[in-house]
Structure 1
Amino acid sequence: MTTRPEPPTTRPGTVLRFRDRHGVPVEATVTDRREDPLQPAPPLRSCLLTLSYADGGRHEARHVGPAAPGPGAGYDALDNEILAGLRLSRLCGAGPYPSEVSRLIGYEADGELPFVLLAPYRGRPVGGTLGRILPSESLPFQRSLLTGLRWTSAAGIAHRALSPETVHWDTVCAQITGFTEAAPAGTPRSVAGAPPWWAPEQRPGQAGGVVTGDDDVWAAGRLIFCVATGRAPERADLADAPPDLARLLQGVFGPPEGRPSVRELLRRLDAADPVPRGLSPDVALERGRADFFALRARKHPQTVPAAEPEPAWPAPAGPTIPDEPSRRGRPWRRRR
């Protein structure tokens, strides 16, 4: 059996250079490295690191990167993980970060060995507890899972690969992890996820339309049903489900256009919307949007209503957070 070589970026004593979730370049020294029992799907691999900073701070981090360089090394999967982390970080701003989604610490996307640093996951994959969750834990699981989806929806992304392996449970709160197949809302749908958890519109030969923030409702419904009943996902039939469960999941397994939104599912559980209202927009993003409309008005005035304003946006006060990571070797770019 051949032992995989240890990436040089994870050896104790190595100085790790990356950008934090605000886009600021930082350095940290690897003081400890441990094997990660929750390895991601190939071609990615991960390990657990202890990072020490010059100011005396320390971080426990999950280092995720390709197992080997070259074609098929998982760079797109890393890009998706970084994109999701950046959008969630921007949405939360200086406020508290939701424990229901995994947290981005930092990333390096353009080097020879790209990687992403995540806060260690909470709990264990819920696949190990399917059918054995306590009745008193069922409602907290449902609320926390839907709370996590509400945050991703508000951030303008869809996970697209919810499963018993990417959703963790610690007997108190669910956590959504593994955003390697995430996509921004508004992009064309493509095949994503894996059976039996993928929604019909994400399967080969059926993918169509555009991604929305509620694309994960179908998979979340299957998970909630299986955790509550212990039945196999193929038997997710609401006809003989407990009344409370049938009421919660009504319409979830129907066509995409008729499914309830994440906010509606939270309302059915009498849970408040976790996303604060009046969140401050990203100044740089709004300024770019205003510049786009101004340019469009000059080139194609017939496409812009005469009453459309062109506000003057102030210069950003801090570092600009890229909207998505580049592919290897390319400069940062924004999704139009």
Structure 2
Amino acid sequence: MAQPGQTLRFRDRHGAWAEAAVTGCHDDPSQPAPPLRSCLLTLTYADGTRHEVRHVGMSDEEPGIGYGELDNEILAGLRLSRLCGPGPYPPQVSRLIGYEADGERPFLLLEPCRGKPVGSILGRILPSEKFLFQTSLLTGLRWISAAGIAHRAISPETVYWDSVNAQITGFAEAALAGTPRTVAGAPPWWAPEQRPGNVSGMVSSEDDVWAAGRLIFYVTTGHEPDRADLTGEDPDLARLLAGIFGPPAGRPPVRELLSRINVADPVPRGLSPDAALERGRAGFLTLRAAKHPETAGPAVPEPAEPAAAAEPTTSQRRRGWRRRR
């Protein structure tokens, strides 16, 4: 991990190179899931500006492990940044500050998490805050869906709460919508189609809808998610979660869930297609399959909408960004 006195050179979320000195290093209470590790850094730029960031990299105890997870985090951050454009960045999702994907020890820089994991403060969320939690969680999920990705690991550990907004973090298992599903998430929060022995079909935003519904139920009622059939005790909750726990094809999209609680769609536009990036991605996949046939995997169908296309990072040319199990 980075140390005080070190100079970090990285690309910002727009792709431009930046450089800053590490002038402080602290423990990060919001540690990502293994094999990734993180610490809080104070970066000082040439103009004297200081910025505290989360430095996320691979564990020193397991060198070489975690490339795929870092690639997932970087690509998710880039697609969300591209979707937001010059407008305000949504506080409901973690924000990418920069990344370095080609060095011996690749890393990414994120804004520090806000609040605490939902799992650590359950029972301390006030009744008046529960609607805010539902609204902000679904708002964050809508931004993720519009960016053409699925988080695939929504849980009390990856969702934070600061009394105003839920913030979705931890994109290490994210995947492009329209790619073949793999095992992802953790019990009891993973959707049925993400579980070992039951994986089928293509990744979609409805995979996250299932997990988000479980989490909303958990925070609203205090019950474990295996009691999700008790939504009838709360008519408003039952109306919001209707259809969420069925098969993926029958689950309501995030926009419909927002409309059920009278919240307007927060995303002003979809992710604009880029023909050059589409051609680059197709060429990259062809070259990778020729050089490393074992990485080809099943054929990836054409995305149903522009948001499902991805721009490969430099590190993808070596590894591919989907996590392999």
- TM-score over 0.5 for the pair: yes
User: In the alignment, is the contact (CA less than 8 A) between 1:147 and 1:266 conserved in 2?
Assistant: yes
Shift of residue 240, structure 1, vs aligned partner: 3.4
Aligned length: 294
Aligned pair partner of 1:29 in 18, 21, 32: 21
Kindly report which structure 2 residues correspond to 1:89-100, keeping only aligned pairs within 5 A, or say none.
89-100=81-92
**Is 1:104 matched up with 2:96?**
yes
User: In the alignment, is the contact (CA less than 8 A) between 2:139 and 2:258 conserved in 1?
Assistant: yes
Aligned to 1:286: 275
Q: Which has the larger radius of gyration?
A: 1
Aligned pair partner of 1:325 in 296, 313, 316: 313
> Per-residue displacement from partner, 1:161-188 (whole Å, max 9, x unpaired)?
0000000001111000000000011110
Shift of residue 249, structure 1, vs aligned partner: 0.2
User: In the alignment, is the contact (CA less than 8 A) between 2:71 and 2:316 conserved in 1?
Assistant: no
- Report the CA distance shift for 1:290/1:49 in structure 2 as closer, same or farther (over 3 A): closer
Amino acid at match of 2:87: G
Kindly report which structure 2 residues correspond to 1:25-104, keeping only aligned pairs within 5 A, or say none.
25-68=17-60, 73-104=65-96
Q: Distance in 1 between matches of 2:153 and 2:111?
A: 20
Aligned to 1:197: 189
Amino acid at match of 2:164: V
Q: Distance in 1 between matches of 2:16 and 2:224?
A: 46
Deviates most, 62-71 or 108-117: 62-71
Kindly report which structure 2 residues correspond to 1:1-336, keeping only aligned pairs within 5 A, or say none.
7=1, 10-68=2-60, 73-238=65-230, 240-277=232-269, 281=272, 285-289=274-278, 323-327=311-315, 330=318
1:137 is paired with a residue of what secondary structure? helix
Amino acid at match of 1:85: G
Q: Distance in 1 between matches of 2:219 and 2:319?
A: 44
Q: Distance in 1 between matches of 2:280 and 2:56?
A: 36
User: In the alignment, is the contact (CA less than 8 A) between 2:146 and 2:271 conserved in 1?
Assistant: no
Q: Distance in 1 between matches of 2:137 and 2:144?
A: 11
Shift of residue 130, structure 1, vs aligned partner: 2.2
Shift of residue 132, structure 1, vs aligned partner: 3.4
Q: Distance in 2 between matches of 1:193 and 1:130?
A: 20
2:10 is paired with a residue of what secondary structure? strand
TM-score of the superposed pair, with normalisation by structure 2: 0.85
User: In the alignment, is the contact (CA less than 8 A) between 1:69 and 1:113 conserved in 2?
Assistant: no
Q: What do you get for the CA RMSD once the two structures are aligned?
A: 2.2
TM-score of the superposed pair, with normalisation by structure 1: 0.82
Shift of residue 72, structure 1, vs aligned partner: 5.7
**Identical pairs, percent:** 68
Unaligned runs of 5+ in 2: 283-309
User: In the alignment, is the contact (CA less than 8 A) between 1:45 and 1:66 conserved in 2?
Assistant: yes
1:272 is paired with a residue of what secondary structure? coil
Task: Answer 1 or 2: which has greater helix percent.
Answer: 2
- Report the CA distance shift for 1:90/1:212 in structure 2 as closer, same or farther (over 3 A): same
Q: Distance in 2 between matches of 1:121 and 1:166?
A: 10
Q: Distance in 2 between matches of 1:20 and 1:86?
A: 10
Deviates most, 44-53 or 54-63: 54-63
Q: Distance in 2 between matches of 1:292 and 1:75?
A: 19
> Per-residue displacement from partner, 1:202-224 (whole Å, max 9, x unpaired)?
00111111111232000000000
Shift of residue 288, structure 1, vs aligned partner: 4.3
- Report the CA distance shift for 1:292/1:154 in structure 2 as closer, same or farther (over 3 A): closer
